[in-house]
Structure 1
């Protein structure tokens, strides 16, 4: 379940996505928006996972790979 502050953000994202998809007649953005918010709700529903993902990072997480650019 999303906290109250996140519900307001979800409502705004949902509205923008539905308007854009209806205008373009392409519903991919709407599906992605719903999937992203479902993931956010799952994180908020699990207190341990939420704490791990929003807490400080300890130590070095290793090297960052250079992105590959393709044309």
Structure 2
């Protein structure tokens, strides 16, 4: 999909500490209790709560939601 040189350049530019921190935050979302809660909730309820709690996108990616 990408040329090896492009991938190598991108990989070298990644801050390893930041990547590790964000990966740990991501893994925190995969806890069994969190997964069970997601399965129990209806899809729309979870999507609304997902945006309100600002879990994945805002905490990890620093994405802002339009209000």
TM-score in same-fold range (> 0.5): no
Which one has a larger percent helix, Structure 1 or Structure 2? Answer: 2
What TM-score, normalized by structure 2, do the two folds share? 0.37
What TM-score, normalized by structure 1, do the two folds share? 0.36
Highest RCO, 1 vs 2 (Cα 8 Å, sep ≥ 6): 1
